[in-house]
Structure 1
Amino acid sequence: MRRIAVVGAGQAGLQLALGLVADGYEVTLVAERTPEQVRGGRVLSTQAMFGPALRIEAAAGLDLWADRAPAVHAVRSVLAAPPGVKALEFTMTLDDPAQSVDQRLKLAHWLELLAERGGRIEYRSLDRDGLRALARRHDLTVVAAGRGELAGIFERDAARSPFDRPQRTLSCLYVHGVGSPDPATEPRARMHALPGLGELYLQPALTLSGPCDILLWESLPGGPLDAFGDHPAPDVQLARMRALLAEYLPWEAELWRQAEPTDALAGLSGAVTPVVRRPVAELGSGVDGVHVLGLGDAVVVNDPITGQGANSAARAAEAYRRAIVEHGDAPFTADWMCRTAERFWQRHARHGVRLTADLLGMPDHLQAVFAAAAEHRAVADRFANTYAEPSDHEAWLATPELTAAYLASVRG
């Protein structure tokens, strides 16, 4: 039986470990926190999961919250220009419903499930030396830890990294009690774009205490929405969000009068630098050297503006699992690692990176898409489903010429 180590207990690492255990591999997962610590910790992300990623989880028996998590079929989008005034408003419909499950709930349960199914879990931190020792004891070691010292072992790929600094500061908060602009409709996400200032996303979700909403501010650094750099407690965070809503999105502020944080650790503030790293790292050299393979946000980090993080991680884990199984008994060489990661980059990851970069920069042809979406439902729906299937970006959003041709075909 081949022995595989996975480092990191996020979406990608746990999904890969569970999949390989089901395939009959001897799997060791290294996680920094126990299920109890995960459940009792701070929220980790916003994690809207689209149809393709949910189908991967369902096929593996891991979509365990479909009967409890709100099924989001549509996104209500508003362009606020100038601030406080609705310039455009339209609804985008997803082909398949999206779902968001608090990762404290999801990952803690998956950790327990891995132990029940025969995976070995080591609860500890690893440095480079510890990782090298782990890799020498296994046929393959996959690193799915996107933060800390281990993320630094994978070199930044300058040619594929569109940015060298954060493009937004981020503040998310899980809350109960948010109103709906149209209570008769099914749960919807809401998106507000404020040109030159940032974006606001509201995502129905499931948390430890039941259904909730997640509010995510995407603020241009140094702008008036960039008000959470001191990492305030959730109650303070909510008060500041209410003040911003009242000034910039007053119609939304009305819906937040009864809102309250879901728990004392329901808030998260910070910033990420979108980056693409080289997927294979060598620890040591010569006969004593070992190679490890990067997965998920150890390799690709996107700003959450397009919701690609957890979706790309799920797809990457499944792509790696298939590649490992198809490789049979052959050695997991550095060349095989590079080919495996490059195949996933070409088929999927590059499209999410480009889509995210475009949404952050909002070039003129993408602004034209927003204007057309307000007039043509087909444009709005295709835009929504490009989030779910970012490879479609290459077909109609990648260049001004492609976008103009598509919009002309819709207008007839």
Structure 2
Amino acid sequence: MTSIGIVGAGIAGLHLSLLLTQRGVSVTLYAERTPEDQLAGKLSSVVTRFGPTREREQALGVNYWDEPDFGAFCFYVNVLGEYPLAFRGDLSQPAQVVDMRLYHAKLLEDLLDRGVDVVYGSLIADDLTILADSHDLVVVASGRGSLTEIFPKVEEHSPFTEPQRHLFGGLFNGVSYPEPLGVTFAIMPGHGEMSTIPIRSFKGRQSALFCEAAPGGDFEIFATMRYEDDPKAFETLLLEQIKQHAPPIYERINPEEFGLTRPQDLIQGAVTPVVRRGYAQLPSGKWVLALGDAHALNDPCIAQGANAASHAAEVVADAIVDHAIYDEAFCQAVEQQVWVNLGAATAWTNANMMPPPEFTGQLFVAATQSQAVANAVADNFADPQRGWRVMSSADEMSAFLAELGWQPEPAPEHEPEPAVA
């Protein structure tokens, strides 16, 4: 029987393990932390899972958090600054946000219940040669430590050498839900982007606040400010900045109740986006695949990372089942197949890290005038190939808007100014 070793128990490694197990392939999952460790840990991410990922979970039998009345049914988009505008885009398939500590722990327990061999502990790159001797193929699905060093950086897809945003967020009391239930975005020129998100966590239905702080903006300090030194000062200053720069977010906050739920429910950090080769050869001559963050580490600004990783896991699972020899040709073919979706997600994400081309403003204007456009803009987040195509050029955007029946509103006619004698 084919034996696959999977290093890393994030969404990429978990989904690949489940997909292969479902198809009768022998899997050993190498996880850094136990389910108990996951549940006791700090919040590390706020992940929005879109329709295709949720369909995959349903097919795998791990859709444990499905609730018909709770999720992200729409996006409320607010562009602030000199030319403000706002619209609501409804999702054709509701998205969902679950605390990833609960998610990772539950899926890991599920794999154990299905008889998957799980080995706990930290690994380094040198360990991969040993693992490869025990498996027909090893897949590295972890972006941690030295494991990624064996996969060369792809310069043409890695335009940044430092983080483009400073990240912070967490679970907060005193933040109400909009109706209908959805994610509220505030785009704050010069300061970054902030969102409020309905999330299922340890206390049931809670609210997450997440900010992509622009370097030099007023929210940058919160990515490094030590919350534990003075929690009240942290929360007071944050509330002041939200009131000043993100009124649509502030409207959802009760100042008397506002505050972090627990110290371990705070995220702070930054990401330097990078794309690596999707495979590498070990000194022994065997080949290993990269998956998830090991292949491409993207900023979370448009919520593509986990969804792209889940999609890639399915591509890899299909390839493993369909082939018996895992050589360089196999790895090259898999990389190309994965990159169709991952490449679009990466290019789109990277574009959002840079000043937008002038033509992109037309999309948001159109969304304020047409509900069909607003809904399509929301749905594009579940389809990065379409999302990136629309944002990649003025011609593509015009074609997208034309397909939806939108035409620019004619400029108002003005009476000629009277001549001055």
TM-score where L is the length of structure 2 = 0.90
Paired residue secondary structure (1:281): strand
Contact 2:380–2:386 at 8 Å: present in 1 too? Answer: yes
Single out whichever of 361-370 and 8-17 deviates more from structure 2: 361-370
Query: Which amino acid letter does the alignment assign opposite residue 28 of structure 1?
Result: T
Paired residue secondary structure (2:267): strand
Does 1:350 find its partner at 2:343?
yes
Deviations 1:19-76 (A, max 9, x none): 2122222211111111111000001211001101111111111111103882211111
Cα 1:62–1:69 change in 2 (3 A) is farther
Cα 1:197–1:161 change in 2 (3 A) is same
RMSD: 1.9
Counterpart position of 1:312: 308
Deviation at residue 265 of structure 1 after TM alignment: 0.5
Mapped to 2, the partners of 1:132 and 1:357 lie a distance apart of 33
Query: Which amino acid letter does the alignment assign opposite residue 260 of structure 2?
Result: P
Return the match for 2:111 from 97, 114, 120.
114
Does 1:272 find its partner at 2:271?
yes
Counterpart position of 2:17: 17
Single out whichever of 164-173 and 351-360 deviates more from structure 2: 351-360
Mapped to 2, the partners of 1:139 and 1:265 lie a distance apart of 39
Return the match for 1:154 from 151, 154, 161.
151
Q: Percent identity?
A: 35
Deviation at residue 405 of structure 1 after TM alignment: 4.0
Cα 1:77–1:166 change in 2 (3 A) is same
Paired residue secondary structure (2:369): coil
Deviations 1:173-213 (A, max 9, x none): 11233124x5xx23111001112221111111111221111
Unaligned runs of 5+ in 2: 409-421
Mapped to 2, the partners of 1:14 and 1:358 lie a distance apart of 29
Cα 1:223–1:110 change in 2 (3 A) is same
Counterpart position of 1:133: 130
Mapped to 2, the partners of 1:350 and 1:228 lie a distance apart of 31
Contact 1:169–1:270 at 8 Å: present in 2 too? Answer: yes
Contact 1:89–1:374 at 8 Å: present in 2 too? Answer: yes
Mapped to 2, the partners of 1:48 and 1:63 lie a distance apart of 14
Single out whichever of 124-133 and 65-74 deviates more from structure 2: 65-74
Paired residue secondary structure (2:43): coil
Mapped to 2, the partners of 1:13 and 1:241 lie a distance apart of 36
Mapped to 1, the partners of 2:13 and 2:86 lie a distance apart of 39
Deviation at residue 254 of structure 1 after TM alignment: 4.2
Cα 1:240–1:299 change in 2 (3 A) is farther
Cα 1:394–1:210 change in 2 (3 A) is closer
Query: Which amino acid letter does the alignment assign opposite residue 128 of structure 1?
Result: A
Contact 1:174–1:266 at 8 Å: present in 2 too? Answer: yes
Contact 1:199–1:219 at 8 Å: present in 2 too? Answer: yes
Counterpart position of 1:93: 90
Paired residue secondary structure (2:103): helix
Return the match for 2:383 from 382, 386, 389.
389
Mapped to 1, the partners of 2:68 and 2:166 lie a distance apart of 31
Query: Which amino acid letter does the alignment assign opposite residue 348 of structure 2?
Result: L
Deviation at residue 356 of structure 1 after TM alignment: 1.3
Does 1:204 find its partner at 2:198?
yes
Cα 1:14–1:69 change in 2 (3 A) is farther
Single out whichever of 168-177 and 234-243 deviates more from structure 2: 234-243
Counterpart position of 1:52: 52
Query: Which amino acid letter does the alignment assign opposite residue 289 of structure 1?
Result: G
TM-score where L is the length of structure 1 = 0.92
Deviation at residue 261 of structure 1 after TM alignment: 2.3
Counterpart position of 1:32: 32
Single out whichever of 239-248 and 249-258 deviates more from structure 2: 249-258
Counterpart position of 2:289: 293
Deviation at residue 123 of structure 1 after TM alignment: 0.6
Does 1:238 find its partner at 2:231?
no
Mapped to 2, the partners of 1:30 and 1:136 lie a distance apart of 15
Mapped to 2, the partners of 1:159 and 1:7 lie a distance apart of 27
Residue correspondence of structure 1 range 307-346 to structure 2 within 5 A: 307-327=303-323, 330-346=324-340
Paired residue secondary structure (1:331): coil
Deviation at residue 357 of structure 1 after TM alignment: 2.2
Contact 1:169–1:221 at 8 Å: present in 2 too? Answer: yes
Deviation at residue 231 of structure 1 after TM alignment: 5.0
Contact 1:128–1:283 at 8 Å: present in 2 too? Answer: no
Deviation at residue 77 of structure 1 after TM alignment: 0.9
Contact 2:35–2:106 at 8 Å: present in 1 too? Answer: yes
Mapped to 2, the partners of 1:45 and 1:224 lie a distance apart of 22
Mapped to 2, the partners of 1:78 and 1:277 lie a distance apart of 34
Deviation at residue 159 of structure 1 after TM alignment: 1.5
Counterpart position of 1:252: 249
Paired residue secondary structure (2:138): strand
Contact 2:184–2:249 at 8 Å: present in 1 too? Answer: no
Contact 1:212–1:262 at 8 Å: present in 2 too? Answer: no
Rg bigger for which structure? Answer: 2
Does 1:374 find its partner at 2:368?
yes
Mapped to 1, the partners of 2:278 and 2:56 lie a distance apart of 22
Mapped to 2, the partners of 1:69 and 1:251 lie a distance apart of 23
Counterpart position of 1:302: 298
User: Would you identify which runs of 4 or more consecutive aligned residues in structure 1 move more than 6 Å?
Assistant: none
How many aligned positions are there?
400
Counterpart position of 2:183: 189
Paired residue secondary structure (2:205): strand
Cα 1:68–1:319 change in 2 (3 A) is same
Unaligned runs of 5+ in 1: none
Mapped to 2, the partners of 1:253 and 1:201 lie a distance apart of 11
Cα 1:207–1:393 change in 2 (3 A) is same
Does 1:214 find its partner at 2:208?
yes
Mapped to 1, the partners of 2:227 and 2:93 lie a distance apart of 35
Contact 1:69–1:211 at 8 Å: present in 2 too? Answer: no
Paired residue secondary structure (1:311): helix
Deviations 1:281-339 (A, max 9, x none): 2221xxx3322100011101111111001111111111111111111xx2211220121
Query: Which amino acid letter does the alignment assign opposite residue 332 of structure 2?
Result: C
Contact 1:175–1:213 at 8 Å: present in 2 too? Answer: yes
Cα 1:122–1:46 change in 2 (3 A) is same
Cα 1:386–1:68 change in 2 (3 A) is closer
